[in-house]
Structure 1
């Protein structure tokens, strides 16, 4: 459950949708050793998701032009 809470906290920080009081409450109860690894892993996942979506769209449009 702590890992899920850290994932939610990192995602909320990425998108900026968390109130200050909730952020401060989470920072008081978070494992600071594991937090950077969760943040880097989520950043890589989001980056790969965006890369895959762009690659999928670009691949579909390139074959539609007949080249």
Structure 2
């Protein structure tokens, strides 16, 4: 459950959609040692998803150019 709370904190900070009260409540009970590792892992995961999606779209459109 702690890991899911860390994921929620990191994702909400990536996208900037937190209210101040919930932000302060979460940071009162968070493990600050694991937070940077979760943040780096999620940043790499989101980057890999975006890269994979762009690669998939670019591959499919390059095959269609010759008709």
- After TM superposition, the score normalised by the length of structure 2 is 0.95
1:19 counterpart residue number: 19
Equivalenced residue count is 67
| CA RMSD of superposed structures (Å) | 1.2
* Separation in 2, partners of 1:62, 1:33: 45
1:8-36 CA distance string (max 9 Å, x none): 11101101111011111111100000000
- After TM superposition, the score normalised by the length of structure 1 is 0.95
1:46 counterpart residue number: 46
Query: Can you give the 5+ residue segments of structure 2 that lack an aligned partner in the other structure?
Result: none
Runs of 4+ in structure 1 displaced over 3 angstroms?
none
2:34 counterpart residue number: 34
Query: Can you give the 5+ residue segments of structure 1 that lack an aligned partner in the other structure?
Result: none
